[in-house]
Chains A and B, each alone.
Chain A
Amino acid sequence: MARTSSTSHGETAVLGKGTNLRGRIAGDGDLRVEGTISGDVALKGHLTVDGGAEITADVQARSVVVEGAIEGDISAQEAVAIRAGARVSGAIRGASISIEEGATVNGRIDADFELPPELGGKGGR
């Protein structure tokens, strides 16, 4: 049960594997979720959802990497990466969105860009 004696102040928070939160998380810094959350997550930093983790709620962060399950909308200012094995059900919004084949995704993706004029867009991104 080794615990790091020097916890990084204001940096990565961890919601461990054996932890369940019924409630919301907000704040600066990064968060890695290994356990389960049913409640919104709103971060200024980076959110990592580990393989066995489950979040049932909307999440919002600067960037998001999902290997576990999210049932809710994902909203990032920068990149959203959905890894193979992830299960996501909800809308996904971000400056860049990538999904690995093997992920289970059911939802809407809204990237901000224009199609070329021949296809009805305003052209040029």
Chain B
Amino acid sequence: MADVTVIGQGIFLRGSIKGDGDVEIRGRIEGDVEVAGEVTIGEGALVKADVTARRITVRGAVAGNLTGEDGVRLEEGARVVGDLRGAGIGIAEGALLRGNVQTGTGGESRGRARQQAAPARAPARVERVEPRKAPALVPKGTAGRKAAAAEERPAPPPPVVPVLKKGSRAALRKRSR
């Protein structure tokens, strides 16, 4: 359970998510997602980013390319403008796509994901975050997310979305606050 990073519904993240572990996106992202685990893009999510992961499941809206080494699946309600690449690609009736589809194990994408996974033994970090204009968008619901200690990063601007460190007791302590 501690392994999943969740970008909550009221979050707007501008930046990138990289590393191991799984990511569940329910809010809004502009940037880049590259993880070794599974990425799930929820129904109301708005993703303007290329996503590279072991497996990608989409129920929301995406403008960007999706590369899932094991597979990419668009469920009903998904709206995607971008290219799909993966060992297996599933598109349910009711999912909408505009882009190229290529099934088969792309050696390129696999290599890229592995390269990223190896050095990033550290949990998924959030990088290159820009300060957001409307701090009001950061909900008090940050408590609702599995938030890692802001102490993890050197510069802690409030709008930033910190990410859970695996098995971090500090994080658990913060969450129960």
Contacts and interface: CB of A to CB of B under 8 A. Distances in A.
Given A104-B104, A106-B101, A115-B63, A98 B95 contact: yes
Q: Is the interface of A mostly helix, strand, loop or mixed?
A: strand
B66 to A, nearest CB: 13
Given A109-B98, A110-B98, A97 B91 contact: yes
Contact of B91 (A98, A106, A119, A120): A98
B10 to A, nearest CB: 14
B79 interface: yes
B18 interface: no
A10 B31 CA distance: 55
A118 B28 contact: yes
Interface residues of B, number: 28
Interface residues of A, number: 27
Contacts of B71: 101
B101 A105 contact: yes
B27 to A, nearest CB: 11
Contacts of B144: none
A16 interface: no
Contacts of B103: 103-106
A107 B61 contact: no
A98 B102 contact: no
